[in-house]
Chain A
Amino acid sequence: MEIGLTHYLVVSALLFSLGVFGIVTRKNSILVLMGLELILNSANLNFIAFSKFKGLNIEGHIATLFVIVLAAAEVAVALAIILNIYQNYHHIDVDEINKLKE
């Protein structure tokens, strides 16, 4: 069986879904962040796959590089924020951080 575009896309979609699922269900902020990373990676996978299989220009590859960089930056900022949360709340359970509401 030739591995084609569809397979990459399916994997990417699965990754995306897992990411969303992770974000929605995990209580730990770190795990939520991991879910976010999965989504970004699924996008990366898409870019690369499209770029390769549809014979497009290198825009896809460049995009992937940028996304990887941004993901790193984002995680850095998010972790800093989570750290701050931990200092204030002594836990990082996103479910419990719900003072601001309604």
Chain B
Amino acid sequence: MTHETLLQISSIVLLLPLAGFAGIIFFQKKLGRAAGYIGSSILGINLLLSLLVAYQKLAFYSDAGMLQWKFDWLNLGSHPITIGIGLDNLAAIMLIVVNLISFLVHVFSLEYMREDIRFPRFYAYLGLFTFSMLGIVIANNFLNMYIFWELVGISSYLLIGFWYEKDSAADASKKAFITNRIGDFGFFAGIMILFFTYGTFMFDDIFAHIGEGHIPFDSGTMLTLAGILLFMGAIGKSAQFPLHVWLPDAMEGPTPVSALIHAATMVAAGVYLTARIFPMLTADALLFVAYIGAITAFIAATIAITQTDFKRILAYSTVSQLGYMIMAIGVGAYSYGFFHLVTHAWFKACLFLASGSVIHAMHHSMHHAGEHHMDPQDIRNMGGLRKKMPITYLTFLISTIAISGVPFTSGFLSKDGILAGTMAFGQLSGHWFIAFSGFASAAMTAFYMFRLLISAFHGQPKTHIAAHTHESNKLITVPLIVLSILTFWFFYSFNPFDGGSGWFYEKIKTPATVVQAEHQWGFFVPYESSHSHSSACCGEHITSPAEEHSHSHEKDTHHALNKFEEALHHAHLPAMIISLIVAGLGIFLSFSFYQFKIFNPDGVAELIKPFYLLSYNKWYFDEIYDASVIWGTTTFAKLLALFDLYIIDGIVNLVGWFTKVVGHFIGWFDLYVIDGLVNLTANVTAFFGLVFRKFQTGRIQAYIVMTIIFAMVLLYYVL
């Protein structure tokens, strides 16, 4: 297939869901349930087409960089505004991710949303979302990116608020949209800077300009600022600290939506954006990105430990994992970051869909029992679901293992790479906090995920509702199975311990930075910067195949093009060991708490009187020590949760409140001062009229006197 054909197929892939959306939204009533099948088949076709495109791209045009199709969109005289679509390896893989998950969610929802009164509209919105998301994926310029960026925002808004009768859902959707808008504001500001400086939105043109040393306002700071502003879009969309607050609330949407949008695809758009702009990020901007990611990963993980709502745990987990990816890109572990995006998409989608399956089952059970007040999403109401819902359990288990970073899973491969990256970064730059955060989060992830798994599926049912659940039907389980299978290692690399040796790493190479050396980390600057400049144009393609070839001979199998790559390679082994340890520790603790009840999970209460226990059970010293660490961690997590709830969220609310107050004041000001001035003018005018009117007393002699007085005054002035 030629470039053109590939791009044409990509356009079809892009437009099909839109057609689905339009078709369904206009004929909602007529279509009824057929809408679901139409939507699913469209996505099925889309999936096949995207597989074809991705295969073609990766197999035959892997080194061709970004295949682009540009056209003039608006011509304002001076120079046209060009937009278009582009397809590179990154986009090709994303196409599969988006279409596959979207397809599975479509199928899943056939069952899950069966009884919803707005069933067709749900599919219409899903179509709209898929269209928008694909638009982001194959954008080759900032304008397209921003357009579709907003469109996914709106689809997310519509889907979170799908059950808009619930105030909480409506609130959540609004919160999500507005929080995102704050991020988008930065994103747009960044775009403005770039457009102002370069007069184009095209990635390749902009990067080429930067590569030539042409930077905004001739100031490295401004380039950093532009990068950070662009990244603000990612902060919003990918729910990074401090804008992460919307994501947990977004769980008010239907669970398939959570799986599709708020776990696998849309929230990953931020990561995708960060990956796209990676070449133009300066050292400071990268550091900012890395720290944001690290902080997010850590905070979210600590919070997840204490949550009890099934979906919220997953939501915090998502935030944490997104932080991971952002952090990865920030430290320069670009390929692993994107790798994690893909692997995370599978297992997190699986986890969410499994949670959907559970909730669905709980709902049914509640419906049968005539119980309406229980929270079907609270893990304290579950337990023992393993036997009732074996397939759901199994897939959930596999995904949990994957997210915890256990070997032989995709999660291990990607996470390990990221951790190696953070270590390499720490080593080269001295910023060790990032690595620390990475490992800590890894441990906590393992802990809370297993806690979730155990509480929900293991042990005995805690309520009669949980006891009477049934496995969901095939429409639900098949997607779960597909997704859980995708978490095995061999899809990505035949070596289960080294993601770097697989095809994935081969195809997704870290693009060389185009930023001038004085604004960039030394260890990111390519060894042969003269070469990279000439070809630094589009995303990942910096090195010509010939160069690559020569590198691969020099530097082992890993064609390191800068110091960082080398360090990364060397950090692999220690990172793997540490990560295995922390993950194992997490899992172990989790099991000992919740499965084997070595410690009563409610033991926190007993720890209030720790001296007695301490003296009585001396030889349990280690366990007590562990317990105190757990206590400390949980307390800290609680504190952070409170922090999140009251401070971060509080700040958000405070800003909201403040804005409202200012709005109130302005409203008042407008009504009484500005308008008051207008009315005052009128009143003063009228007042003078009133005064002059008083001269007209009706008595002729008074008139005469006044005439004479006036005439005298006039005389006085004339003389």
Interface residues of B in 337-367 (CB under 8 A from A): none
Interface residues as binary, A48-77 with B (CB distance below 8 Å gives 1, 0 otherwise): 000000000000000000000000000000
Chain A residues lying within 8 Å of B708, measured Cβ to Cβ, are: 20
B704 on the interface (CB 8 Å rule)? yes
Q: Which of A24, A32, A101 contacts B697 (CB 8 A)?
A: A101
Contact of A101 with B701 in the complex, beta carbons under 8 Å: no
B705 on the interface (CB 8 Å rule)? yes
A3 on the interface (CB 8 Å rule)? no
Interface residues as binary, A87-102 with B (CB distance below 8 Å gives 1, 0 otherwise): 0000000110111111
A23 on the interface (CB 8 Å rule)? yes
Contact of B693 with A95 in the complex, beta carbons under 8 Å: no
Contact of A94 with B696 in the complex, beta carbons under 8 Å: no
Interface residues of B in 681-716 (CB under 8 A from A): 693-694, 696-701, 704-705, 708
Chain B residues lying within 8 Å of A100, measured Cβ to Cβ, are: 698
Given A102-B693, A102-B694, CB of A95 within 8 Å of CB of B699: yes
Closest Cβ–Cβ distance, residue A18 to chain B (whole Å): 14
Q: Determine the distance from Cα of A95 to Cα of B703 in the docked complex, in whole angstroms.
A: 11
Name the CB-closest residue of A to B697: A101
Contact of A101 with B698 in the complex, beta carbons under 8 Å: yes
Closest Cβ–Cβ distance, residue B644 to chain A (whole Å): 71
Q: Determine the distance from Cα of A20 to Cα of B697 in the docked complex, in whole angstroms.
A: 19
Contact of A98 with B698 in the complex, beta carbons under 8 Å: yes
Q: Which of B693, B696, B704 contacts A24 (CB 8 A)?
A: B704
Q: Determine the distance from Cα of A25 to Cα of B700 in the docked complex, in whole angstroms.
A: 11
Contact of A98 with B693 in the complex, beta carbons under 8 Å: no
Name the CB-closest residue of B to A101: B698
Chain A residues lying within 8 Å of B697, measured Cβ to Cβ, are: 98, 101-102
Contact of B698 with A94 in the complex, beta carbons under 8 Å: no
Chain A residues lying within 8 Å of B705, measured Cβ to Cβ, are: 24
Closest Cβ–Cβ distance, residue A32 to chain B (whole Å): 8
Closest Cβ–Cβ distance, residue B703 to chain A (whole Å): 10
Interface residues as binary, A8-36 with B (CB distance below 8 Å gives 1, 0 otherwise): 00000000000010011100000010000
Closest Cβ–Cβ distance, residue A97 to chain B (whole Å): 8
Contact of A102 with B696 in the complex, beta carbons under 8 Å: yes
Q: Which of B694, B700, B704 has the most CB of A within 10 A?
A: B700
User: Which of under 10, 10 to 19, 20 to 34, or 35 or more describes the interface residues of B?
Assistant: 10 to 19
Given A20-B708, A23-B704, A24-B704, CB of A98 within 8 Å of CB of B699: yes
Name the CB-closest residue of A to B695: A102
Closest Cβ–Cβ distance, residue A34 to chain B (whole Å): 14
Contact of B699 with A94 in the complex, beta carbons under 8 Å: yes
Chain B residues lying within 8 Å of A95, measured Cβ to Cβ, are: 699, 701
Name the CB-closest residue of A to B701: A24
Name the CB-closest residue of B to A26: B701
Name the CB-closest residue of A to B692: A102
Q: Determine the distance from Cα of A101 to Cα of B699 in the docked complex, in whole angstroms.
A: 8
Q: Determine the distance from Cα of A98 to Cα of B708 in the docked complex, in whole angstroms.
A: 20
Name the CB-closest residue of B to A96: B699
Q: Determine the distance from Cα of A101 to Cα of B704 in the docked complex, in whole angstroms.
A: 14
Name the CB-closest residue of A to B690: A102
Q: Determine the distance from Cα of A31 to Cα of B513 in the docked complex, in whole angstroms.
A: 108
Interface residues of B in 11-48 (CB under 8 A from A): none
Q: Determine the distance from Cα of A25 to Cα of B693 in the docked complex, in whole angstroms.
A: 23
Given A20-B708, A24-B705, CB of A94 within 8 Å of CB of B693: no
Q: Determine the distance from Cα of A23 to Cα of B700 in the docked complex, in whole angstroms.
A: 10
Chain B residues lying within 8 Å of A32, measured Cβ to Cβ, are: 701
Interface residues as binary, B278-290 with A (CB distance below 8 Å gives 1, 0 otherwise): 0000000000000
Contact of A23 with B696 in the complex, beta carbons under 8 Å: no
Contact of B698 with A99 in the complex, beta carbons under 8 Å: yes
Name the CB-closest residue of B to A95: B699
Closest Cβ–Cβ distance, residue A61 to chain B (whole Å): 29
Contact of B701 with A23 in the complex, beta carbons under 8 Å: yes
Q: Determine the distance from Cα of A94 to Cα of B696 in the docked complex, in whole angstroms.
A: 15
Closest Cβ–Cβ distance, residue A77 to chain B (whole Å): 16
Chain A residues lying within 8 Å of B693, measured Cβ to Cβ, are: 102
Given A20-B708, A24-B705, CB of A102 within 8 Å of CB of B698: yes
Closest Cβ–Cβ distance, residue A16 to chain B (whole Å): 12
Q: Determine the distance from Cα of A98 to Cα of B704 in the docked complex, in whole angstroms.
A: 14
Interface residues of B in 649-696 (CB under 8 A from A): 693-694, 696
Q: Determine the distance from Cα of A99 to Cα of B700 in the docked complex, in whole angstroms.
A: 11
Name the CB-closest residue of B to A23: B704
Chain A residues lying within 8 Å of B699, measured Cβ to Cβ, are: 94-95, 98, 101
Chain B residues lying within 8 Å of A98, measured Cβ to Cβ, are: 697-699
Name the CB-closest residue of A to B694: A102
Q: Determine the distance from Cα of A76 to Cα of B230 in the docked complex, in whole angstroms.
A: 96
Chain A residues lying within 8 Å of B696, measured Cβ to Cβ, are: 101-102
Name the CB-closest residue of B to A32: B701
Chain A residues lying within 8 Å of B700, measured Cβ to Cβ, are: 94, 97
Chain B residues lying within 8 Å of A101, measured Cβ to Cβ, are: 696-699
Chain A residues lying within 8 Å of B704, measured Cβ to Cβ, are: 20, 23-24
Chain B residues lying within 8 Å of A102, measured Cβ to Cβ, are: 693-694, 696-698
Q: Determine the distance from Cα of A25 to Cα of B704 in the docked complex, in whole angstroms.
A: 11
Name the CB-closest residue of B to A100: B698
Q: Determine the distance from Cα of A23 to Cα of B705 in the docked complex, in whole angstroms.
A: 10
Name the CB-closest residue of A to B698: A101
Chain A residues lying within 8 Å of B694, measured Cβ to Cβ, are: 102
Q: Determine the distance from Cα of A97 to Cα of B703 in the docked complex, in whole angstroms.
A: 13
Name the CB-closest residue of B to A25: B701
Name the CB-closest residue of A to B708: A20
Q: Which of A94, A99, A100, A101 has the most CB of B within 10 A?
A: A101
Q: Determine the distance from Cα of A79 to Cα of B614 in the docked complex, in whole angstroms.
A: 126
Closest Cβ–Cβ distance, residue B702 to chain A (whole Å): 9
Q: Determine the distance from Cα of A95 to Cα of B694 in the docked complex, in whole angstroms.
A: 16
Interface residues of B in 234-253 (CB under 8 A from A): none
Closest Cβ–Cβ distance, residue B693 to chain A (whole Å): 5
Q: Determine the distance from Cα of A24 to Cα of B705 in the docked complex, in whole angstroms.
A: 7
Q: Which of A25, A94, A99, A102 has the most CB of B within 10 A?
A: A102
Q: Determine the distance from Cα of A15 to Cα of B505 in the docked complex, in whole angstroms.
A: 120
User: Which A positions have Cβ atoms within 8 angstroms of B?
Assistant: 20, 23-25, 32, 94-95, 97-102
Q: A23-B701, A94-B699 are in contact. List 17 more A-B contacts (CB 8 A).
A: A20-B704, A20-B708, A24-B701, A24-B704, A24-B705, A25-B701, A32-B701, A94-B700, A94-B701, A97-B700, A98-B699, A99-B698, A100-B698, A101-B697, A101-B699, A102-B693, A102-B698
29 contacts between A and B (CB under 8 A): A20-B704, A20-B708, A23-B701, A23-B704, A24-B701, A24-B704, A24-B705, A25-B701, A32-B701, A94-B699, A94-B700, A94-B701, A95-B699, A95-B701, A97-B700, A98-B697, A98-B698, A98-B699, A99-B698, A100-B698, A101-B696, A101-B697, A101-B698, A101-B699, A102-B693, A102-B694, A102-B696, A102-B697, A102-B698
3 closest A-B pairs (Cβ-Cβ)? Answer: A101-B698, A98-B698, A98-B699
